[in-house]
Structure 1
Amino acid sequence: MQKGLYAAVFTAAAVQAHAAAPVDFSNLVEQVSPAVVSVNVVKKLSQEELLQQQVPEILKRFFGNQVIIPQQQVPQEKTAYGSAFFISKDGYLLTNHHVVEDATKVTIVLNDRREIDAKVVGSDERTDVALLKVTGSGFPELRTGNVGQLKVGEPVLAIGSPFGFDYSASAGIVSAKMRNMMGETSVPFIQTDVALNPGNSGGPLFNQRGEVVGVNSRIFSGTGGYMGLSFSIPIDVAMDVADQLKKHGKVTRAYLGVSLQDIDRNLAESYKLAKPEGSLITQVAPSSPAAKAGFKSGDVILKFNGTPISRTSELLNYLNRAVPNQSIQLEVLRDDSRRNISATLDTAPDDTPAKADAEQQQSKGPILGVSIRDLNAAELKQLDTKGGVLIQDVRRGGIASQARILPGDVVTQINNKAIGNTKDFIAAVSDLKKNTVARVTIIREGQRAIVGMRIE
């Protein structure tokens, strides 16, 4: 009996030791490292950053010669760094949008220390994916894996350049899948506990077979450094975006026209569901594909093309992967009965202009530092306006920022020109002259106002 007890203890200890043994990624790192590169980026300083650089000179104006400041030339550019990896032998690479945003020059550094200038083929802010291209052929190409087969708890490996330290490898496990961060719905992030830091952005996340399953994008941190929560863009999402950027220079998305929320315990009981599942439609946009198909507020979407939906993030992922003019079939719960409704998706408002178009637009007028999109039918009705463009983002230190134009503002007029859509906005901005002040009519929180925007 005693001997059997000892045997059981030793067996359990051996199993524990085997389970706790770390995964050896050394051979894998050696195989895939040649396809991973460091990215060095030169960016222009924003007006806010230039002002910060000039603070000593401003102090001297106030205090005169009482303050002795060494003479130094204020730099007009800054450098940044990140990571990228080859997805084709002819020189295409994936990285993050935020790595190359506003870049005036991009250079990649190979593992043999060669430096090659890279061109930004296109970049998509919503998914944080950018596509680069370098001249040449025969580059090492990484294989992509099946994200659907990736399991929570599975070991993963990241390679990148944290804080500029080239080809640093770090390992961990998949903590969760289908994560949405801070209201973002375009990317179902892979959450891991892999140690990612600034500079890892744009690098690959590998499974144990050496296949890329994600593009490392961001961390959740209160200090700016690693705290055990890292997020990667699923490689299938990134490759879809890269394919569109390669073919068209922009990303076109599908549009259904519904507002959605998760089903909680109480709602599940109310709808007589065995458990919280599906996605609840809270609003249907007028004249949208959903309205034309007959969807109603209060419908619960349970399946997308036959695939069960457990939460809203899953449905949004399927919709984001769909294409305009695609027909979809949704199983919905309405009045305690299930029914199938088909809909044909439309094209979503264009918030990722083609790179060539953007360059052409910039040459015609001042750069305001905003991203814009057209209003949809529901927004036009809600605001009681015939036209306008929505300000989605405002770059700090830019012309619009200095005029205190905010994200969420709707521009309806610039000087005496009515703004019905993004084309009107671009045309009006192209006519603005330097050293003038433009009158910008906006709708903010339902109230109309006029802002003076100084063009410098």
Structure 2
Amino acid sequence: MNTFTTHSARRSRRLRAGAFLLAAAALGWTAAAFADDHTEAKVVVSIDPASLDRAPGRSMPVSFSDVVKAVGPAVVQVNVTAESEGISEADLPPFLQDPRWRRFFGIPDNMEEQRRPPQQGTGSGVIVSSDGYILTNNHVVQNAAEIQVTLSDRREVSAEIVGTDPDSDLAVIKIDLEDLPAVVFADSDTVEVGDVVLAVGNPFGLGQTVTSGIVSALGRATMGLGYEDFIQTDAAINPGNSGGALVDAEGRLVGINTAILSRSGGFMGIGFAIPSNLARNIMQQLAAHGEVVRGFLGFYGEDLSRELAPSFDLDEDHRGVLVNQVTEDTPAHDAGLQAGDIITHIDGREMKTFRELRFAIADKRPGTDITLTIIRDGDEDEIEATVGSREDIDGSGGVGGGDDGLLNGVSVGDVDRESRRQYGIPSRIQGALVTAVEPDSAAAEVGLRQGDVILEINRQRVRNAEDAIELTEESTPSMRTLLRIYNNRIGFRYVIIDESDR
């Protein structure tokens, strides 16, 4: 008997054993495709693109004091005050609607004039230009009514928000001063695991603090932002460090400190910084327009895994991006991209992962013509597409169960009106609804769930439960079966079922 196996369920959960992510920002309160500079740069910054000298014979410096003296004046403390809305009876929990309970807890009967006190927070920022532009995190300044920046020489000055980008958790603010010390940007694409880095910021509002460590990993995606490609470091990052500088051994900016992974709320050796190349390009767009414009094609995809590749007549080691679904009336649809296509290159640049491809598309100016190299039905081809502007895609709708039929430990049924309402599957989705999964089945082990909709089996369209049963009956225990599935939380994906070892 074949078993439905959900490839996506093999991915590790983002948080384990009670660990949680903290934006490394505020003392007292806290709250990413890659965007390039689509216009002429408004902020004049200093860039040193040279790689670090990693010659084997080079000795480790005894002190980084010269680096700190050069970088420290460009790192500031950002103090934010957020005005709070008034409290009304509607904000109280139900039991406090009773005046007797309000009196017991000392809450006045008349709530009309009650207001929450202003909230205060502290983060960090990095001066990136001599005329007062400062790069920090979006979560440091969001909802700010007032921003005060404290410079390294203890001067305090008001700042204005130039622009924010929640998708990358970056923001640009500006102070009205000239001849300020500014950081030098490194080319973060040259950073390597093992490089020495220093974190400079203002943890807990103590004042400027420097910690050291190494680059622990690259390309981390941990916070659920739209676009993220974090540098992981073990340099200590604590609340108040958000927006601060992560610099290399030569004092060049390689990242903007943003978050930590922690079970306790304090630093546990895992911190994350936004790469300086990403931060710089986002900054230029925010400075020029106050917002970030990202390229958009309009399809869902995933990494081509070793398990999926043979189903498309490719070697297990073949890299690329598998297209799961193309949204109608989008640039991808207009270009002729299809579900099941494998994208290997954009404008001749190899694409090994979906995240890499997503960043590359977002890096393009809307209206730009690009060439996608794809593999379709085993043949390589090229298609031309015109990048559009990113937009929201409606994924609402519903699914439900009908007549059951045993399918590899999975019961399926037809999709009807009630099931669509129950499971939230759009009316355009047609297929076989998964109505139950046996707990000890391979399908359950890898995450197939009630409410999933099977759209294709071995590249053959599934219109209803009967189609699914007929197509799976054609499989044998030695066969690998390819499924295309829809779930209203995850979207479209391909999965492999392999019953050969059962």
Counterpart check, 1:250 vs 2:250: no
Residues 221 and 229 in structure 1, CA contact (< 8 A), matched pair in contact too: yes
* Counterpart residue identity of residue 35, structure 1: A
- The 1:207–1:29 alpha-carbon spacing in structure 2 relative to 1, beyond 3 Å, is same
Q: Secondary structure at the match of 2:302?
A: strand
Residues 80 and 99 in structure 1, CA contact (< 8 A), matched pair in contact too: yes
2:386 is aligned to 344
Counterpart check, 1:31 vs 2:73: no
Residues 284 and 297 in structure 1, CA contact (< 8 A), matched pair in contact too: yes
Shift of 1:76: 2.2
Shift of 1:270: 2.6
Which one of 368, 372, 380 corresponds to residue 330 of structure 1? 372
Counterpart check, 1:290 vs 2:361: no
How far apart are the structure 2 equivalents of 1:323 and 1:298? Answer: 26
Q: Which of structures 1 and 2 has the larger relative contact order (alpha carbons within 8 angstroms, sep 6+)?
A: 2
**Any gaps of 5 or more consecutive residues in structure 1?**
1-17, 350-373, 386-444, 447-456
Counterpart check, 1:121 vs 2:165: no
Shift of 1:184: 3.6
* Counterpart residue identity of residue 355, structure 2: S
Q: For each residue in 1:70-94, what CA deviation from the matched residue of structure 2 results, as whole angstroms up to 9, or x when unmatched? A: xxx9752011000001111110000
Residues 218 and 230 in structure 2, CA contact (< 8 A), matched pair in contact too: yes
TM-score of the aligned structures, taking structure 2 as reference length: 0.62
How far apart are the structure 2 equivalents of 1:250 and 1:217? Answer: 20
Which one of 190, 207, 214 corresponds to residue 173 of structure 1? 214
- The 1:50–1:161 alpha-carbon spacing in structure 2 relative to 1, beyond 3 Å, is farther
* Counterpart residue identity of residue 274, structure 2: I
Shift of 1:244: 1.4
- The 1:66–1:295 alpha-carbon spacing in structure 2 relative to 1, beyond 3 Å, is closer
Shift of 1:22: 7.4
- The 1:48–1:346 alpha-carbon spacing in structure 2 relative to 1, beyond 3 Å, is farther
How far apart are the structure 1 equivalents of 2:273 and 2:140? Answer: 14
Shift of 1:341: 2.0
Residues 75 and 126 in structure 2, CA contact (< 8 A), matched pair in contact too: yes
How far apart are the structure 2 equivalents of 1:143 and 1:288? Answer: 40
How far apart are the structure 1 equivalents of 2:92 and 2:210? Answer: 35
Which one of 352, 368, 371 corresponds to residue 310 of structure 1? 352
Residues 132 and 176 in structure 2, CA contact (< 8 A), matched pair in contact too: yes
Q: Secondary structure at the match of 1:144?
A: strand
Q: Secondary structure at the match of 1:93?
A: strand
Counterpart mapping for 1:55-204 below 5 A: 61-62=100-101, 75-204=116-245
Shift of 1:130: 0.6
* Cα RMSD (Å): 3.3
Shift of 1:252: 1.3
1:42 is aligned to 81
How far apart are the structure 1 equivalents of 2:93 and 2:381? Answer: 65
Shift of 1:269: 2.8
1:421 is aligned to none
- The 1:300–1:375 alpha-carbon spacing in structure 2 relative to 1, beyond 3 Å, is closer
Q: Which has the higher helix share?
A: 1
How far apart are the structure 1 equivalents of 2:322 and 2:239? Answer: 38
How many percent identity over aligned positions? 36
Q: Secondary structure at the match of 1:205?
A: strand
Q: For each residue in 1:91-113, what CA deviation from the matched residue of structure 2 results, as whole angstroms up to 9, or x when unmatched? A: 00000000000001000101111
- The 1:48–1:286 alpha-carbon spacing in structure 2 relative to 1, beyond 3 Å, is farther
Residues 85 and 115 in structure 2, CA contact (< 8 A), matched pair in contact too: no
1:269 is aligned to 310
Residues 230 and 273 in structure 2, CA contact (< 8 A), matched pair in contact too: yes
Higher mean displacement: 153-162 or 270-279: 270-279
How far apart are the structure 1 equivalents of 2:62 and 2:258? Answer: 24
Residues 84 and 115 in structure 2, CA contact (< 8 A), matched pair in contact too: no
Which one of 208, 215, 220 corresponds to residue 261 of structure 2? 220
2:320 is aligned to 278
How far apart are the structure 1 equivalents of 2:107 and 2:321? Answer: 64
Shift of 1:187: 1.9
Shift of 1:330: 2.0
* Counterpart residue identity of residue 373, structure 2: E
Residues 118 and 133 in structure 1, CA contact (< 8 A), matched pair in contact too: yes
Q: Secondary structure at the match of 2:322?
A: strand
How far apart are the structure 2 equivalents of 1:125 and 1:77? Answer: 23
Residues 186 and 320 in structure 1, CA contact (< 8 A), matched pair in contact too: no
How far apart are the structure 2 equivalents of 1:326 and 1:380? Answer: 33
How far apart are the structure 2 equivalents of 1:49 and 1:236? Answer: 46
How far apart are the structure 2 equivalents of 1:49 and 1:78? Answer: 18
1:241 is aligned to 282
Q: Secondary structure at the match of 1:220?
A: strand
